[in-house]
Amino acid sequence: MSSSRIAAIDVGNDSVKALFGKTDYELNIPNVIARDREDRPVIGIEDLNEKNPVDGIHIRVHSPALKDNNAIYRVGNLATKSDNAMELDPGSSKSEEDQSLVMLFATLALDAVRPNNPAQFKKNNNVVDATYTLGTGLPLREVKEGKDVGFRSQLLGSVHQVEFLVTPKFQGQKVNIKFEEVKVYPEGFAAFINLVMDNHGNITNRDLIDKQILIQDIGGLSTDIAVIRNRNVDDDKAQGFNLGVSESLEAIREEIRTKHGVELDTRSDVVDIITKKNDRNHIMVKGSRTSVHDITDRILLDLAKKEYRHLRNVWKKNSQTEICYFVGGGAMVLKEYIKTLNNNLDGYNIEFFEDEKESIWMMANAYYKLISDFDRKNNKAAAQEPKEKKAAVK
């Protein structure tokens, strides 16, 4: 019987971030898919197995949770090169999109099929049977609407199969995915946990746990503002908005294409231009270094103003708030614009994470801490149960 392996997966709009086991493996895959055919052409087929599987994910996905079952996809880096590449649309619900599930299953399958996977899942005739204890999350708005219940039930109680087609190293292998347990956390609460807890469930920031704080999580498709009071999210005060950076990134991509004739494959390419340490807000046009500052500043400042307006409105309704933490990939993109607005306007006590990786991986890290803590307590309770039965017999 195969053992259950911990997986903490943040299906972010920009990319999927995942941590497995005892953080012995991590994955970061662009959240891009493209419908494809089974026999995709490969140049240099004899060198296929020398390439990185993450750069050539080509799969068929079978799951009762999918609306479009048994479809074939390019995923991640490979999908970005397709003319029909799909990213999540603004206004869509993460819990109701096939794309979220395809990315989730593909990420789990990549971990399960590794020959050196510490979980040692059962394998028979190129079929791996993998069982996971999953921690993941949804935007606060979707959790408040009760969509987490349906999302969780879609995953539990079924077998979800990923078949690797023309994928380096894994071609011809299949992974049957089952879930022993699925925990779906509100993203704002998860961010708070990441601020106060370490990987072993210990409180590391006691100064913060009894404060009233806000956490503004700016994602690609949505913004969540969690109000933390008495170590819990205040469900009545917390708010979710259909406002994220995706639409602005698309606007920047389109304007660069129109003005400079430069095609950027994905929103991630736009983020790289905005956030890179050298030559920030510059692109190459016909071999010449060209500034796109005018485009990025105008569009991102407009979005930052909208985000700041939400902060102001929520803070007014929670006047005893001591600090607001900005988290998520969107916060990294808008950081300097929001700081400037705050300095010129209200001067709230706000905080950003200067470490870009810490901000981007915050949700995955939080899910890992939460699901690991659940798993520890669950195993401890299971270990104590026989002792309690013996005591009852005596």
- pLDDT recorded at residue 392: 54
Per-residue burial over 229-263, b if 16 or more Cβ lie within 10 Å, else e, is beeebeeebbbbbebbbbbbbbbbbebbeeeeebe
In a domain, 388, yes or no: no
Indicate if 267 and 376 belong to the same structural domain. no
For the chain, where are the alpha helices, taking DSSP H only? 77-80, 98-112, 140-144, 147-155, 187-196, 206-209, 246-260, 267-275, 293-317, 329-344, 356-360, 362-393
In a domain, 190, yes or no: no
SS (H, E, C) 135-181: EEEECHHHHHCCHHHHHHHHHCCCCEEEEECCCCCCCCCEEEEEEEE
- pLDDT recorded at residue 1: 40
- pLDDT recorded at residue 222: 83
Q: What are the structure tokens assigned to 320, written together? A: 């005893």
Whether 2 shows a pLDDT value over 50: the answer reads no
> Domain range for residue 44?
4-185+365-383
- pLDDT recorded at residue 92: 78
Residue-wise pLDDT for 262-305, tens only, equals 999 888 889 889 988 788 899 999 999 999 999 999 999 999 99
- pLDDT recorded at residue 362: 86
Indicate if 219 and 142 belong to the same structural domain. no
Residue-wise pLDDT for 45-87, tens only, equals 556 777 899 999 999 999 999 999 999 999 999 998 888 989 8
Whether 393 shows a pLDDT value over 70: the answer reads no
Per the document, the length of the chain is 394
- What is the CATH classification number for the domain harbouring 256? 3.30.420.40
Indicate if 298 and 372 belong to the same structural domain. no
Indicate if 217 and 279 belong to the same structural domain. yes
Indicate if 233 and 338 belong to the same structural domain. yes
Percent of the chain with pLDDT over 70: 95
Percent of the chain with pLDDT over 90: 61
User: 160-164 and 57-62: which strand pairing?
Assistant: antiparallel
Among 37-51, 120-134, 326-340, the minimum mean pLDDT is found in 37-51
Give yes or no for a contact between 292 and 206, defined as CB atoms under 8 angstroms apart. Answer: no
Nearest Cα neighbor of 130 from 152, 102, 108, 158 is: 108
Higher pLDDT, 1 or 185: 185
Triad 81, 83, 86: Cα angle to 5°: 85
Q: What are the structure tokens assigned to 223, written together? A: 């913004």
Residue-wise pLDDT for 363-385, tens only, equals 899 999 999 999 998 887 777 76
pLDDT band at 224 (very low <50, low <70, confident <90, very high): confident
